[in-house]
């Protein structure tokens, strides 16, 4: 598949990135990711859609610098990624707020690591608390928050660092359906207002279409890019969009794409 | 009874107290009822009488204070060495590879067996008592803390890295605060064990302390005093445990919120 991978145009460039896990107890090495090429334009909202176990989270973790690719490299603004850093903010599926810090302290964590004086942090934190609608909860411990509120805090924490790109690994995967819908609107609203380059991994087709300006569909393991679908639905998007004919057409197409892969995964598991 | 079904706080308290009552009642019955020889086991009343005399006439509270000081002194000494070492072993795997085999081995060396050696080295003064408790506690604390720290939630560490933490930042602002309640809990546990070491240390080559009083009473067949001494140890242990627990709760409200 021909993808635009010219440097300069792309904010993020994934060049021939693959990942092979060593075999367990003398077993065969497991190929999790086939070599992947992907260019991401600045301020694009890209969702990576794939069946579970296809390596989409691995790809995201490689971009974050939390895992090293077996081959290939990742370039952010032309610089190679070698380790995790504050220029790539990440939101995880599991709740990763620091339980010993309050909501406000969690959001301020990156600023503090950067050495920003405490009096300057307050203002930044307040604006992000406001952005994710957590006013009045600044001094709560994470344990006192619902799952949705915890993930909102996690998004604020990542954004407060003003990263070049925001990476999200199924951030709403553990939430109930209603909360998930609200969170999608919240995140999309933030993106529409603040423009940020976003890489969002999900296995939920509706979520992938609703959020994205471009959906990357991955195959079953070993993962590779199966299709690259531009989503030209207008912004700002409202949840009613999910019932529109254009949305349904995209959904039908991607459902077909992903269904084949899900079946391959299921057969792989029973074999 | 339904398994794992909780009981109400009221019933819990009543049940807890009733065992003490039963226990003392049984003790009173076998002693006051003449079922065992008085020489070997004092009855509850003479135990209290002996205890009162100990406190008023023999200034036993001085022994109690000395024992408390030894426990906390030795325990503090062990903590100061063991906590940083445990954290270092948990956080940095080469340090763990270097020290873990030795510490695992040393943990099984009985503190009481060191007493003759420690007396040779440090005499029978305070230092020797502190060292017994130190030897008994330090390896335990190191190992437990190393395991707890080694089990730090990886996703929190990864989150901190993506927020710009350096390696030192991870240790100081993730690993340490994340494990602080567990470390405090470990210290509380080991403090309980330190109480047993101090008595052993005081049974041998000592001229003060609760353990000394106990061994001294044995030669005079004063079983009432011995039991009183044991109960005092139990009470102080319980009290320090409660205080430690309350302190931990106050220190780490987030872990219970």
ipTM, two decimals, is 0.90
- Distance from the Cα of B159 to chain A's closest Cα (Å) equals 7
Tell me whether A135 touches chain B (CB under 8 Å).
no
* pLDDT, position A256: 87
Residues of B in contact with A89 (CB under 8 A): 162-163
Q: Among partner residues B166, B177, B257, which is closest to A144 by beta-carbon distance?
A: B257
B155/B39: higher pLDDT = B155
- B133-149 pLDDT, tens digit per residue, is 999 999 999 999 999 99
Q: Do B254 and A99 touch (CB under 8 A)?
A: yes
Residue spans of the domains in chain A: they are: 1-87+166-172+193-271, 88-162
DSSP 3-state of B166: coil
- Distance from the Cα of B6 to chain A's closest Cα (Å) equals 23
* pLDDT, position A5: 46
Q: Do A113 and B165 touch (CB under 8 A)?
A: yes
Residues of B in contact with A164 (CB under 8 A): none
Q: Which chain A residue's Cα is nearest to B179?
A: A100
Tell me whether A84 touches chain B (CB under 8 Å).
yes
Q: Do A100 and B252 touch (CB under 8 A)?
A: yes
Residues of A in contact with B156 (CB under 8 A): 96, 98
- Mean pLDDT, chain B, rounded, equals 92
Count CA atoms within 13 Å of residue B58 on its CB side.
Answer: 19
* pLDDT, position A73: 93
Q: How far apart are the C-alpha atoms of A32 and A54, rounded to whole Å?
A: 7
Q: Do B159 and A90 touch (CB under 8 A)?
A: yes
Question: Which of the four pLDDT bands, split at 50, 70 and 90, describes residue B93?
Answer: very high
Q: What angle do CA B194, B198, B204 make, to 5 degrees?
A: 150
Residue closest to B141 by CA, chosen among B176, B173, B106, B115: B106
- Mean pLDDT, chain A, rounded, equals 89
For range B78-83, the mean pLDDT: 96
- B160-208 pLDDT, tens digit per residue, is 999 999 999 999 999 999 999 999 999 999 998 898 888 888 988 888 9
Residues of B in contact with A100 (CB under 8 A): 177-178, 180, 252, 254-255
Q: Which chain B residue's Cα is nearest to A163?
A: B163
* Chain pair A-B, CB pairs under 8 angstroms: 77
Q: Which chain A residue's Cα is nearest to B175?
A: A98
Q: How far apart are the C-alpha atoms of B125 and B112, rounded to whole Å?
A: 16
Q: Give the residue from A76, A85, A99, A111 with the most B CB atoms within 10 Å of its CB, the best one to mutate.
A: A99
Q: Do B162 and A84 touch (CB under 8 A)?
A: yes
* pLDDT, position A271: 45
Residues of B in contact with A64 (CB under 8 A): 158, 162
* pLDDT, position A9: 74
- B100-124 pLDDT, tens digit per residue, is 999 999 988 888 888 888 888 988 8
Sign of CA dihedral A45, A12, A63, A145: negative
Q: Do A96 and B255 touch (CB under 8 A)?
A: no
Q: Give the residue from B155, B163, B255 with the most A CB atoms within 10 Å of its CB, the best one to mutate.
A: B163
Q: Do A141 and B254 touch (CB under 8 A)?
A: yes
With the CA atoms of B27, B31, B35 and B38 taken in that order, what torsion angle do they form, in degrees rounded to the nearest 10?
Answer: 140
Burial B69-96, CB ≥16 within 10 A → b, else e: ebbbbbbbbbbeebbebbbbbbbeeeeb
Tell me whether A99 touches chain B (CB under 8 Å).
yes
Residues of A in contact with B254 (CB under 8 A): 99-101, 141-143
Residues of A in contact with B158 (CB under 8 A): 64, 66, 84, 90, 92, 96
Residues 6+ apart with CB under 8 A from B186: B141, B144, B145, B148
Q: Which chain B residue's Cα is nearest to A114?
A: B164
Residues 6+ apart with CB under 8 A from A92: A154, A169, A171, B155, B158, B159
Phi, psi for A10 (deg, rounded to 5): -95, 140
Q: How far apart are the C-alpha atoms of B104 and B1, rounded to whole Å?
A: 42
Positions of chain A with pLDDT lower than 70, given as ranges: 1-8, 268-271
Residues of B in contact with A90 (CB under 8 A): 158-159, 162
Q: How far apart are the C-alpha atoms of B116 and B132, rounded to whole Å?
A: 10
Q: How far apart are the C-alpha atoms of A205 and A215, rounded to whole Å?
A: 9
Fold of the B44-247 domain: MetI-like fold (1.10.3720)
Concatenated DSSP letters of chain A: ------BTTEEEEEEEEEEEEPPGGG-PPEEEEEEEEEEEETT-EEEEE--TTSSHHHHHHHHHTSS--SEEEEEETTEEP-S--TTEEEE-SS----TTS-HHHHHTHHHHHTT--HHHHHHHHHHHHHHTT-TT-TT--GGGS-HHHHHHHHHHHHHHT--SEEEEESTTTTS-HHHHHHHHHHHHHHHHHH--EEEEEES-HHHHHHH-SEEEEEPSSSB-EEEEEE----SS--GGGGGSHHHHHHHHHHHHHHHHHHHHHHHHHH-
**Residues of chain B with a CB closer than 8 angstroms to some CB in chain A:** 153, 155-156, 158-166, 169, 173-174, 177-178, 180, 252-255, 257
Order of strands across the sheet that contains A214-218? A88-91, A165-169, A197-202, A45-49, A214-218, A225-230
Domain A1-87+166-172+193-271: top CATH class: alpha beta
- Distance from the Cα of A29 to chain B's closest Cα (Å) equals 24
């Amino acid at each position: 598949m021909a993808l635009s991978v010219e440097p300069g145009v792309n904010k993020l460039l994934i060049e021939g990135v693959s990942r092979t896990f060593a075999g367990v107890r003398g077993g065969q090495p497991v190929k999790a990711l086939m070599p992947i090429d992907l260019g991401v334009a600045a301020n694009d909202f890209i969702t990576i859609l794939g069946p579970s176990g296809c390596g989409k989270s691995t790809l995201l973790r490689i971009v974050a610098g939390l895992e090293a690719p077996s081959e290939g490299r990742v370039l952010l603004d032309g610089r190679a990624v070698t380790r995790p850093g504050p220029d790539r903010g990440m939101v995880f599926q599991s709740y990763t707020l620091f339980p010993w810090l309050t909501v406000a302290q969690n959001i301020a964590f990156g600023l503090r690591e950067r050495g920003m004086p405490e009096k300057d942090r307050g203002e930044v934190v307040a604006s992000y608390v406001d952005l994710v609608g957590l006013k009045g909860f600044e001094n709560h411990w994470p344990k006192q928050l619902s799952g949705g509120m915890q993930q909102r805090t996690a998004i604020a924490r990542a954004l407060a660092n003003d990263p070049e790109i925001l990476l999200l690994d199924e951030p709403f995967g553990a939430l109930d359906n209603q909360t998930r819908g609200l969170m999608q609107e919240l995140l999309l609203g933030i993106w529409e207002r603040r423009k940020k380059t976003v890489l969002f991994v999900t296995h939920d087709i509706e979520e992938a279409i609703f959020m994205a300006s471009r959906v990357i569909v991955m195959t079953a393991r070993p993962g590779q890019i199966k299709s690259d679908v531009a989503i030209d639905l207008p912004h700002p998007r409202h949840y009613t969009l999910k019932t529109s004919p254009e949305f349904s057409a995209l959904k039908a197409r991607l459902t077909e794409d992903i269904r084949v892969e899900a079946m391959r995964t299921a057969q792989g598991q029973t074999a | 009874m339904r398994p794992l079904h909780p009981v109400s706080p009221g019933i819990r308290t009543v049940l807890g107290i009733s065992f003490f009552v039963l226990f003392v009642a049984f003790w009173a019955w076998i002693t006051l009822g003449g079922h065992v020889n008085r020489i070997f086991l004092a009855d509850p009343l003479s135990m209290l009488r002996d205890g009162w005399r100990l406190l008023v006439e023999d200034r036993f509270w001085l022994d109690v204070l000395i024992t408390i000081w030894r426990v906390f002194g030795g325990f503090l000494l062990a903590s100061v060495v063991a906590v940083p070492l445990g954290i270092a072993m948990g956080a940095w795997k080469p340090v763990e590879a270097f020290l873990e085999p030795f510490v695992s081995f040393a943990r099984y060396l009985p503190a009481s067996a060191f007493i003759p050696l420690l007396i040779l080295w440090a005499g029978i003064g305070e230092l020797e008592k502190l060292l017994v408790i130190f030897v008994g506690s330090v390896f335990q604390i190191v190992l437990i803390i190393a395991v707890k720290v080694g089990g730090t939630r990886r996703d929190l560490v990864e989150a901190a890295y993506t927020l710009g933490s350096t390696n030192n930042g991870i240790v100081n602002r993730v690993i340490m605060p994340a494990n602080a309640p567990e470390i405090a809990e470990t210290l509380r546990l080991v403090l309980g064990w330190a109480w047993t070491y101090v008595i052993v240390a005081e049974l041998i080559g000592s001229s003060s302390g609760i353990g000394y009083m106990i061994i001294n009473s044995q030669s005079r067949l004063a079983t009432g005093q011995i039991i009183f001494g044991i109960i005092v140890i139990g009470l102080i242990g319980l009290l320090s445990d409660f205080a430690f627990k309350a302190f931990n709760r106050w220190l780490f409200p987030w872990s219970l919120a």
